[in-house]
Chains A and B, each alone.
Chain A
Amino acid sequence: MKESVSFAFAVYLLGFAVSIFIAAIIKFILFFIRKFSKRVQN
C-alpha cells in the first residue's frame, strides 16, 4: 500500500512538472513569435 501511494504521488508530481513545463513552453512560443514578428515589421 505504501509503495503504491508513493508511486501515485510520484506520478502526480511528474505530471504536474510536465504540465507546468508545457505552460512555460507556451509562454516562450508566444514571446518568441511576437518578438520575431515585431522585428520583421520594423
Chain B
Amino acid sequence: MIKLLNLFQGVGTLFVQDPKIAIARIVLILLGILMVYLGKKEILEPLIMIPMGFGMAAVNSGVLFLSATQIGTIFMDPLVTNTDEIMNILQIDWLQPIYTFAFSNGLIACLVFMGIGVISDVGSVLKYPFTGMLIAMFAELGTVATFPIAHAMGLSYGEAAAVSLIGGADGPMVLFASLSLAKDLFVPITIVAYLYLSLTYGGYPFLVRLLIPKDLRGKAVKTTNKRNISSGEKLAFDIIACIVLCLLFPSASPLFLSFFLGNAIRESGMTRYAKLLEDVFLYSATFLLGLMLGVLCEASTILNPKILFLLLLGIIALLLSGIGGILGGYIVYLINGKNFNPVIGISGVSCVPTTAKVAQKEVNRVTRYSFILEYAMSANICGVITTAILTGIYVTFIPLM
C-alpha cells in the first residue's frame, strides 16, 4: 500500500498531510471544477475563471514528496524570498519565472492596465469631466468606508487598504496595492477581488432595481450639443493627466503611465501598437493572471484564518461602492434639475465596461428609447482614474503611518 501511495504521490500525500490541509485540497479541487463550470456558463467571467479553476484544481492535485521531509509542488513557490533559493526554484518550478519576473513586481497588473487604456475612449470623460468625477468619487464609498471596518476586524493598515480597494472594482489595482501593502495576504485578497468582480455583472442590476424606482430608471437624459472631442485633445489630456498624477503619487506612477500610455497609443492612431496591446498584452496578461491566481490557491498558502474576513469585507466594499455610486447618481440628478438618470451612478464603479453596460441594460429594461451610455462611460472611465488616485494615496501614505 505504501509503495502504491509513493507511486501516485498526489493521492499519497493526502494521507500523510495534516487532515485540515488534505480536506482543503479536496475542497479546492472541487472549487476549481466549479469555477470552470461557472466560467463556461458565463455566470462568472470565463477569461479569468477557466484558467484560474484549472490552476487551482491542478496545483492541489499535483502535490508530491519533494524530499524525505518536504511536501510541495513543482508549479511555483510564492513565499520564497532568499535570492539563492529563488535561483534554484527558477530552474525547477515551471511558473516561477513568470511569478518572479512579471507577477510579484506588478508587471502583469500594468500590462492589463495598458490594455484597459487602449480599449477606453476618454472622449466622454472630456465631455463631462465634473459629472463623471463626481459620480466616480461617490462610487468610491466602499474603497474608503471599508478601511476602518477592516482595521477594526484586526487587519493591519496595509491589509485594510488593500482589501478596501476591492470597492474600486478594478482587479489590477487590487493586485498592485496588495503586492506593496499586504504581501502576506495578497494571494487571498486578489482572489477574493477577482471572484467578486466577476459577480458585479450579476449582482449590481438587483441593487439598481432595489434603490431606483422604475419611472426614474427609464428617464431620458436631454443632451446638449457639445463639440466632439478631437484625438489631439484626448492626447493632450493623457500626457498632462499622466504627468500631474505621477508628480502627486510617484508610488502608483507605473499604473498611471500604463493607463495613459495605452490610451495615448489608441488616440495617436498607432493601430499596430494598439492591436499589440489589446490582442497580445491584455489577453496574455489576463490569461496568465487567471492561471497564476489559480496556482496560488494551494491549500497550505490559502488556509489563513483571515480569509473569512476578506470574503466578508470584499462584499461589503463592493456593496458600499454600488450604493455610493447610485447616491452620486441621485445627487447629479438633483444638481442638474432632474435632467439626469440616477442609474448612471452605478457605472461610477470602475469595472470597465461592465458597470456601464449594466446601467444601459437596466435603462433599456424600462424603455428602449433612452441612451445613457456616453454618460455611463464617462463615469466608468473616471472611476478607473479615481481608483488609481485612491490607490496612489493608500500606497503613498500607509507606509508613512
Contacts and interface: CB of A to CB of B under 8 A. Distances in A.
Contacts of A34: 227
Contacts of A15: 137, 140, 144, 386, 389-390, 393
Given A15-B389, A29-B236, A33-B236, A22 B148 contact: no
Interface in B362-401: 382, 385-386, 389-390, 393-394, 397, 401
Contact of B241 (A1, A9, A25): A25
A26 B237 contact: yes
A27 B314 CA distance: 35
Interface centre among A4, A5, A11, A26 (most CB of B within 10 A): A26
Interface string A1-42: 100110111011011101111110111011001100000000
Contacts of B245: 18, 22
A18 B389 contact: yes
B240 A25 contact: yes
B133 A20 contact: yes
B147 A11 contact: yes
Contacts of B118: none
Contacts of B130: 20, 23, 27
A19 B136 contact: yes
B215 to A, nearest CB: 30
B12 to A, nearest CB: 47
Nearest to B241: A22
A11 B126 contact: no
B248 A27 contact: no
Measured as residues with beta carbon below 8 angstroms from the partner, the interface class of chain B is 35 or more
B233 interface: yes
A1 B148 contact: yes
B243 to A, nearest CB: 10
B382 to A, nearest CB: 7
Contacts of B68: none
Contacts of A30: 126, 229, 233
Contact of B393 (A14, A27, A29): A14
Contacts of B129: 22-23, 26-27
Contacts of A8: 144-145, 147-148, 164
Nearest to B229: A30
Contact of A22 (B157, B385, B401): B385
B209 interface: no
B160 interface: yes
Interface in B242-268: 244-245, 248
Given A12-B144, A16-B137, A4 B157 contact: yes
Contacts of B389: 15, 18-19, 22
A5 B148 contact: yes
Contacts of A1: 148, 151-152
Contact of A11 (B229, B233, B393): B393
Instruction: Give the residue among A4, A15, A27 with the most B Cβ atoms within 10 A.
Output: A15
B182 to A, nearest CB: 15
A19 B144 contact: no
Contact of A12 (B140, B240, B248): B140
Interface of B: 125-126, 129-130, 132-133, 136-137, 140, 144-145, 147-148, 151-152, 157, 160, 164, 227, 229, 232-233, 236-237, 240-241, 244-245, 248, 382, 385-386, 389-390, 393-394, 397, 401
19 contacts: A1-B151, A4-B147, A4-B148, A4-B157, A7-B147, A7-B397, A8-B148, A11-B144, A11-B397, A15-B389, A15-B393, A21-B244, A22-B129, A22-B133, A22-B241, A22-B389, A23-B129, A25-B240, A33-B233
Interface of A: 1, 4-5, 7-9, 11-12, 14-16, 18-23, 25-27, 29-30, 33-34
Given A11-B390, A21-B244, 17 more contacts: A1-B148, A1-B151, A1-B152, A7-B147, A7-B397, A8-B148, A11-B144, A15-B140, A15-B386, A18-B389, A20-B133, A22-B133, A25-B240, A25-B241, A25-B244, A29-B240, A30-B233
